[in-house]
Amino acid sequence: MPDTGVAVSRPPASGGKPLVRLSALKRYFDVSPPWLARVLERKPRAIVQAVAGIDIEIRKGETFSLVGESGCGKSTVARLVVGLYPPTDGAIEFDGNDMAARRGRVEMSAIRRRMQMIFQDPFASLNPRWRVFDIIAEPIRAFKLASSTTEVRQRVDDLLRQVKLTPADGSKYPHEFSGGQRQRISIARALASRPEFLVCDEPTSALDVSVQAQILNLMMELQREHGLTYLFISHNLAVVYHISTRVGVMYLGRLVEVADTDTLFRRPKHPYTRMLLDTIPDLDMTGRQRAPVAGEVPSPINPPSGCAFHPRCPFANDRCKRERPATIPIEGGLVACHAIEEGRLKAEDRGYGGH
Amino acid sequence: MIPGSNQAPLLEVRNLRVEFPTRRGTLVAVDDVSFSISPGEVLGVVGESGAGKSLTGAAIIGLLEPPGRIAGGEVVLEGERIDNLPYERMRRIRGARIGAIFQDPLTSLNPLYSIGRQLVETIQTHLPLSAADARQRAIDLLKEVGIPGAETRVDHYPHQFSGGMRQRVVIALALCANPRLIVADEPTTALDVSIQAQIIALLKRLCREHGTAVMLVTHDMGVIAETADRVAVMYAGRLAEIGPVRDVVKNASHPYTRGLMGSIPSLGVRTERLTQIDGAMPRLTAIPRGCAFNPRCPDAGQRCTAERPDLMPAGVTRAACWLYHSQGVGPALARETANA
Amino acid sequence: MALIDSFRRAADSDIWHSFRASPMTMAAAAVTLFIVLAAFLAPLIALQNPFDPANLNLSDAMRPPMFFGGEWSFPMGSDDQGRDLYSAILYGTRLSLEVGLAVVFFSMILGIGLGLVAGYVGGTLDAIIMRIADVQLTFPAILIALLIDGVVRGVISVKRHEEIAVFVIVASISLAFWVQYARTVRGSVMVERNKEYVQAARVIGLPRWLIMFRHVLPNVMGPVLVIATINLGLAIITEATLSFLGVGLPSTQPSLGTLIRIGNEYLNSGEWWITIFPGLTLAALVLAVNLLGDWLRDALNPKLR
């Protein structure tokens, strides 16, 4: 098998202009019981702070990954960015345009065309009653990107080839394809409007590993060819390590650490980042000692006071319980941790087998 | 460190074949699969979805869902054939001598009963204990699987537990009667990564302490690498390779296992491209002639498209691949590269 | 175990196969087909037009059926107006079927429309629609139909009423039947609209109504078809009940229910055929349609088996 040890030329980690900027972005969900039940059972309103205020800049041409466990809000961020949910507070800027600004249909459509999304579940993300051709043609028709039916056909055939399917596959229905092939169709649809920015919500977590590698390779290839910018959501750190330029770690709706991929994996700072890294299975069989991982993610309805991670953190003290840590810049990245800020805790150097 | 490798095997599966009759013909979902598990050993069974690994587990514990059926072969537990037992006899063996853990802890627990009641019921079915003793044993089991405040938690209902805690309860349930073997089907798949690590550590510890053998069915090579003593790799209903975990993970013999291992992103080297196996596993309706992997195999020869290989010695492991036969794979194939 | 699911799907996907596997269903289909064909070919195969008073002769009244002392010209006997019962049943069945189909059509349109809106838009609009539906459900369909019919009778003359009786009855039964469609569609829409293919369409920025019609509606039609089939039987029975109670179709244009009502008056005086033959036809038709509906429900939803 080829491709081992090739030098990596990821897109530049700095210097690129920000394409997407999220500022103090918040999204709350009301999960209260119905009004009558609240009154009768004297239950309070229940609000989930799925995204509790995050700031991210995604630079042109990079892959910015968000990682975290389920319920940390990473998928909500993805849906906020593409406009599937309106934000509760904060702003989303795309290439200098405030997404919340009022604008006409045509202008809005012009911005929407430039960002698309790839979903997690290849079995739910394609309309089961449509032929693959129509699924991929839909954005082309919606954004009026082709002037004739022959042009639509050419474009769809071309897209199918780009994702390593054949034009003949266009006349089939989604159920005739395997999970990996469906994800290729999903990617073709996302590329149909010639976007610059793709939001990828766990695009490989429903796939088998050998297929996952195909899809990741395809995504990296397409990024190089089209100069795409990715926001990549995943819980799989090994996948994130391979595909990302920069990584943000989320815990209970907040970013706890942002850094270049290598910095994050080789010199993790936040205790939660370290804990996540410890959960990556040791496939190189180096016998690397893994620190025991304690506790579970608390409910986002009643997040812990102060630093939300303090109940599981081996380094927590009274201040961590009381006071929410501010985000401080460190080694080109950002981290929100009192122990790091106070110098109680140093960045940890980590090596991995095969390096 | 394979415990008891020279003892009589605890479980022996010989030429197991599982079929699904459909009206378009009979599908063979598990085809001629043989392996054994020694007492106290953890055997990992890996494969991608549709490889037949879960069905192999279900066949062993007698929980194949109709219309699936065992169409050939034998399952022998401690010298006794169990694949042809009537349902009632098998039900007593399940729980008493084989414990089962499934992917979704919610489906293994009855939402209407407290977990204590479910534990006590299972304990009393298999062990001659009084109600009070059974309850005490339930509490001890909950403590053992690391549930804090077991004395009060024992009266709680499944929905009052988090996913990770629920899976611990299911493990306690499987351990009720001190079974010799636990069949665990994707026990960590539904859980968060940090919880996964906890559950794996727990399983490992318990099996060591109780001397329980485990058949660990999963798609996650990472879980296998951390837990198993030996690994069986399945592909399209057949065994592709079986051997000690270190050798299968680091020096696989079968081209499929090699590709599978290569396609897992690791933290070692960052590359432009991950190793990938082109194509996808065949559907059961269209398993290729010869070696089922031949259309995706970089090393396939003409013999691979004609003759099906059996497991044969391949270095430390055993692999079903003609590369390790004295006559090799035969003349090279001329073909275009397959694509998914 | 995804594998087992895919086996199930492979085994159950083919509706035709499940049809062939069930002799009861095939029999039901044959009976339905026979009755429907006979009803719509009525002008060709009937002996007279029973709706045309010019064809009726009172001296032919109360003839017994053939083999019971009757004659060939009145194979199933005749009623009190001298109407040939065989022809009346053919025309009556046609009328019953037309009313049934019209009810299914209108209640389906109303129910799907309101269900789509309620499910996709949600919020207050959803709450309003569903509360109306809840209120409607607390009244039996017959009561609603009686109410509407009564109001209409109050505002227009008897003569006018006979002319528009069919429309009144279709409207009143439809208004009673839409709830089931609306609730089913709303439920399915709420499941479908959170699926990722709908989100993908939203990311493209398609307008809501387009997403509803292009993506959501086709994927919720399965259960709707099942309800429609089962409701056809129900609608026919409801119309027959109303006509039997005398608030449905007038005796000048007798449906099956009207014929049964007419015969009911003579049942004790020995003229049994006027009730029995239309009754048997109605029972056979409704039973066959319901059996088809049950089969369709099971065929489209393998989990129910």
pLDDT band at A288 (very low <50, low <70, confident <90, very high): low
pLDDT for position C125: 87
Nearest to C2 among B49, B58, B65 (CB): B49
pLDDT for position B6: 58
> Is the pLDDT score of B14 beyond 80?
yes
> Is the pLDDT score of C302 beyond 60?
no
Give me the total of CB pairs closer than 8 Å, taking one residue from chain A and one from chain C.
50
| A127–C203 CB contact, under 8 Å | no
pLDDT for position C102: 93
pLDDT for position A263: 92
| C204–A143 CB contact, under 8 Å | yes
Nearest to C11 among B22, B50, B65 (CB): B22
> Is the pLDDT score of A163 beyond 60?
yes
Half-sphere exposure of B283 (CA within 13 A, CB side): 13
pLDDT band at B217 (very low <50, low <70, confident <90, very high): very high
Nearest to A84 among C195, C203, C218 (CB): C203
Instruction: Look at C248 and C128; give whichever has higher pLDDT.
Output: C128
pLDDT for position C301: 62
Task: Check if A125 contacts C (Cβ < 8 Å).
Answer: yes
pLDDT for position A5: 39
Compute the average pLDDT of residues A22-28. Answer: 93
pLDDT for position A265: 92
How far away is chain C from the Cα of B55, in angstroms, using its nearest Cα? 8
pLDDT band at B1 (very low <50, low <70, confident <90, very high): very low
Compute the average pLDDT of residues B120-145. Answer: 90
How far away is chain A from the Cα of B25, in angstroms, using its nearest Cα? 19
pLDDT for position B334: 65
Compute the average pLDDT of residues B96-103. Answer: 86
Task: Give per-residue pLDDT as tens, C143-194.
Answer: 877 888 788 878 887 777 777 788 888 888 888 888 989 999 999 898 888 8
Q: Are A317 and A340 in contact (CB under 8 A)?
A: no
Task: Give per-residue pLDDT as tens, B24-40.
Answer: 788 899 999 999 999 98
Nearest to A214 among B220, B298, B340 (CB): B340
- The enclosing domain of C242 has a CATH number of 1.10.3720.10
Instruction: Look at B276 and B239; give whichever has higher pLDDT.
Output: B239
> Does residue C6 fall inside a structural domain?
no
| B48–A279 CB contact, under 8 Å | no
B125, burial (CB in 10 Å: exposed 0-12, middle 13-18, buried 19+): middle
How far away is chain A from the Cα of C200, in angstroms, using its nearest Cα? 7
Q: Which residues of A touch C218 (CB under 8 A)?
A: 127, 129
Shortest CA distance from C216: residue in chain A: A127
> Does residue C173 fall inside a structural domain?
yes
pLDDT band at A56 (very low <50, low <70, confident <90, very high): very high
| C203–A117 CB contact, under 8 Å | yes
How far away is chain A from the Cα of B250, in angstroms, using its nearest Cα? 7
Task: Give per-residue pLDDT as tens, A221-231.
Answer: 999 999 999 99
| B264–A283 CB contact, under 8 Å | yes
Compute the average pLDDT of residues C108-136. Answer: 88
Q: Per mean pLDDT, which range of A48-62, A312-326, B261-275, B286-300 is the poorest? A: B261-275
> Is the pLDDT score of A51 beyond 70?
yes
Q: Which residue intervals of chain A are DSSP H helices? A: 35-41, 74-81, 105-113, 132-142, 149-162, 179-191, 209-226, 237-243, 261-266, 271-278, 318-322, 338-341
Chains touching chain A through at least 3 C-beta pairs below 8 angstroms are B, C
Cα Rg of chain A (Å, integer) = 22
> Is the pLDDT score of B256 beyond 80?
yes
Mean pLDDT, chain C, integer: 81
Instruction: Look at A104 and A273; give whichever has higher pLDDT.
Output: A273
Edge-first strand order for the sheet with B11-22 is B25-37, B11-22, B69-77, B80-81
Q: Are C262 and C255 in contact (CB under 8 A)?
A: no
Q: Choose, out of A29, A35, A127, the residue to mutate when testing the contact with C (most C CBs < 10 Å).
A: A127
pLDDT for position A9: 47
pLDDT for position A16: 61
Q: Which residues of C touch B20 (CB under 8 A)?
A: 7
pLDDT band at C10 (very low <50, low <70, confident <90, very high): very low
Q: Using DSSP, state whether B181 is helix, strand or coil.
A: strand
- C-alpha dist (Å) from residue B216 to B73, B165, B203, B227: 21, 19, 10, 9
Q: Are A244 and A223 in contact (CB under 8 A)?
A: no
| C204–A128 CB contact, under 8 Å | no
| C199–A119 CB contact, under 8 Å | yes
Assigned CATH for A1-97+218-355: 3.40.50.300
Nearest to A296 among B164, B274, B298 (CB): B164
| C11–B23 CB contact, under 8 Å | yes
Chain C contact residues (CB < 8 Å to A): 195-197, 199-206, 215, 218-219
Task: Give per-residue pLDDT as tens, B59-95.
Answer: 998 888 888 889 999 999 998 899 888 888 888 888 8
| C200–A129 CB contact, under 8 Å | no
| C11–B67 CB contact, under 8 Å | yes
- Most confident option among A25-34, A149-158, C2-11, C64-73: A149-158
| C1–B54 CB contact, under 8 Å | yes
| A216–B265 CB contact, under 8 Å | yes
Instruction: Look at A286 and C151; give whichever has higher pLDDT.
Output: C151
pLDDT for position A291: 61
Q: Choose, out of B22, B26, B185, B186, the residue to mutate when testing the contact with C (most C CBs < 10 Å).
A: B22
pLDDT band at B23 (very low <50, low <70, confident <90, very high): confident
pLDDT band at A192 (very low <50, low <70, confident <90, very high): very high
pLDDT for position A69: 87
> Is the pLDDT score of C276 beyond 50?
yes
pLDDT band at A15 (very low <50, low <70, confident <90, very high): low
Nearest to B267 among A9, A179, A352 (CB): A352
Task: Check if A112 contacts C (Cβ < 8 Å).
Answer: yes
Distance separating alpha carbons of residues C225 and C297, to the nearest angstrom: 9
Task: Give per-residue pLDDT as tens, C194-234.
Answer: 889 999 999 988 888 889 888 888 888 888 888 888 888 88
pLDDT band at A287 (very low <50, low <70, confident <90, very high): low
Instruction: Look at A7 and B267; give whichever has higher pLDDT.
Output: B267
pLDDT band at C7 (very low <50, low <70, confident <90, very high): low
| B221–A209 CB contact, under 8 Å | yes
Instruction: Look at A92 and B164; give whichever has higher pLDDT.
Output: A92
Distance separating alpha carbons of residues A313 and A291, to the nearest angstrom: 12
How far away is chain A from the Cα of C188, in angstroms, using its nearest Cα? 14
Q: Which residues of B touch A2 (CB under 8 A)?
A: 273, 275
Task: Check if A116 contacts C (Cβ < 8 Å).
Answer: yes
Shortest CA distance from B245: residue in chain A: A285
| B221–A180 CB contact, under 8 Å | no
Q: How many domains does chain C have?
A: 1
Q: Which residues of B touch C20 (CB under 8 A)?
A: none
> Does residue C205 fall inside a structural domain?
yes
Residue A325 per-residue DSSP state: P
Distance separating alpha carbons of residues C110 and C182, to the nearest angstrom: 8
Find, among C68, A307, A8, C38, the residue nearest to B272 by Cα: A8
Q: Where are the beta strands (DSSP E) in B103-207?
A: 181-185
Q: Per mean pLDDT, which range of A206-210, B3-7, B16-20 is the poorest? A: B3-7
β-strand partners of B179: none
pLDDT for position A355: 39
pLDDT band at A247 (very low <50, low <70, confident <90, very high): very high
Interface confidence, given as ipTM, is 0.83
| DSSP secondary structure letters along A194-205 | --SEEEEESTTT
Nearest to B263 among A4, A210, A241 (CB): A210
Mean pLDDT, chain B, integer: 86
pLDDT for position B255: 93
Q: Which residues of B touch C18 (CB under 8 A)?
A: none
The CB density around residue C31, as the number of other CB atoms within 10 Å, is: 17
Distance separating alpha carbons of residues B201 and C30, to the nearest angstrom: 64
pLDDT band at A200 (very low <50, low <70, confident <90, very high): very high
Shortest CA distance from C5: residue in chain B: B65
- The angle at the Cα of C161, spanning C156 to C163, to the nearest 5 degrees, equals 135
Shortest CA distance from C215: residue in chain A: A127
Distance separating alpha carbons of residues A285 and A278, to the nearest angstrom: 14
Compute the average pLDDT of residues A111-127. Answer: 91
Q: What is the 3-state secondary structure (H, E, C) of chain C?
A: CHHHHHHHHHHHCCHHHHHHCCHHHHHHHHHHHHHHHHHHCHHHHCCCCCCCHHHCCHHHCCCCCCCCCCCCCCCCCECCCCCEHHHHHHHHHHHHHHHHHHHHHHHHHHHHHHHHHHHHHCHHHHHHHHHHHHHHHCCCHHHHHHHHHHHHHHHCCHHHHHHHHHHHHHHHHHHHHHHHHHHHHHHHHHHHCCCHHHHHHHHHCCCHHHHHHHHHHHHHHHHHHHHHHHHHHHHHHHHHHHHHHCCCCCCCCCCHHHHHHHHHCCHHHCCCHHHHHHHHHHHHHHHHHHHHHHHHHHHHCHHHC
> Does residue C10 fall inside a structural domain?
no
Give me the total of CB pairs closer than 8 Å, taking one residue from chain A and one from chain B.
154
Distance of CA A339 to the CA centre of its chain: 27
Compute the average pLDDT of residues B106-123. Answer: 87
In chain B, the percentage of residues whose pLDDT exceeds 70 is 96
> Is the pLDDT score of C238 beyond 70?
yes
Q: Which residues of B touch C5 (CB under 8 A)?
A: none
